[in-house]
Amino acid sequence: MNLKIAVLPGDGIGPEIIDQALKVIDAVCEKTGHSAEYTQALTGATAIFETGNPYPEETHTACMNSDAVLFGAIGDPHFDNDPKAKVRPEKGLLEMRQRLGLFANIRPVTTFPSLLHKSPLKKELVEGADFVAIRELTGGIYFGRPQGRSEDGNTAYDTCVYHRFEIERIAKLAFEFAMKRRKKLTLVDKANVLATSRLWRETVQEMAPSFPEVELDYMFVDNAAMQLIQWPKKFDVMVTENMFGDILTDEASVITGSLGLLPSASIGIHTSVFEPIHGSYPQAAGKNIANPIATVLSAALMFEYAFKLNNEAEMIRKAVEASLEQGIVTEDIDKTRAVSTSTLGDWLASHIKMNF
């Protein structure tokens, strides 16, 4: 099978962690007889510096012509420290989501037995935690209009807008995920306050009879934020709107002990994007110290979701588990005997070649 992959390294540590994922993809292809065809493209601050546009048309064409997109990270301190910047790297990410129709962000949250001691939560709370957070990605307050500030600059406003079809398509995906797992779905909203949340709850309630095997419950977002920390093992599949999902999935990421461990998949109408949940970590850029595991596991999701190659995805996950068990880790996991970013990538690729 020929895998056509658009590669968008982006900013900061993006190029370094992407390089390690490509090593792993190549190792899997070598072992299984597949071939990978990569198209490199610019995005984020890197694209702004070269073209003035955080998501150039050439990048969009590369994504549209590929079966999947492997994405690194976006963000640069140059723009963070300039509140009047007219173009920001993050605008490229939002544009990519809109133009590719990336309506659902899927973030699996699982704990690794060898790293339970790294979690800020007690071992008995996190051991066995395994759930999927599904975040709506192209609607809500991040995209709602009108948006802006008053002429005197003293008032600002954003508008949260959702349409029923946006809720239906992501709720259907969430129900389907629940059917493949433990058949429990939690809708997170703020229906006691927000009209958009009441539309979410009404729509999901109407869809529930089509999935009679799924146990459906509802949770206000403030309560969900608390219960994620108190009882993370109670969740199976969680679905929620854009901003709530942004906040809750970052909160959930600490359960595993490191932001460098969690992958994500953004499922789209035209193609799908696979990326680590962490940012560009500019302080570490070029130092060969960043953890590439989240990006490598994002490549595993790519094999699973984009190419339906579950065995190949499992090869990657087993290699990652082996590296954690044997202590082949970067400094965010263990400062005393850390390996470099590139060394970890080489180890994972070699493990796949030698053991599968």
305 part of the active site: no
Closest by Cα among 266, 328, 308 to 20: 328
- Quick one: 154 exposed, middle or buried, by C-beta within 10 A (0-12, 13-18, 19+)? exposed
- 104 phi/psi in degrees, rounded to 5: -135, 120
Selected catalytic residue, list 82, 157, 222, 234: 222
Selected catalytic residue, list 250, 318, 334, 346: 250
Selected catalytic residue, list 80, 130, 246, 334: 246
Selected catalytic residue, list 4, 26, 80, 142: 142
Selected catalytic residue, list 189, 190, 281, 332: 190
Closest by Cα among 270, 242, 246, 243 to 99: 270
162 part of the active site: no
222 part of the active site: yes
- 279 phi/psi in degrees, rounded to 5: -90, -160
d(CA 7, CA 38): 6
Give the helix/strand (H/E) hosting 323: helix 310-325
246 part of the active site: yes
The tokens of 241 are what? 């709107």
236 part of the active site: no
221-230 helix and 242-253 helix, angle to the nearest 10 degrees: 10
List, by residue number, the catalytic residues.
142, 190, 222, 246, 250
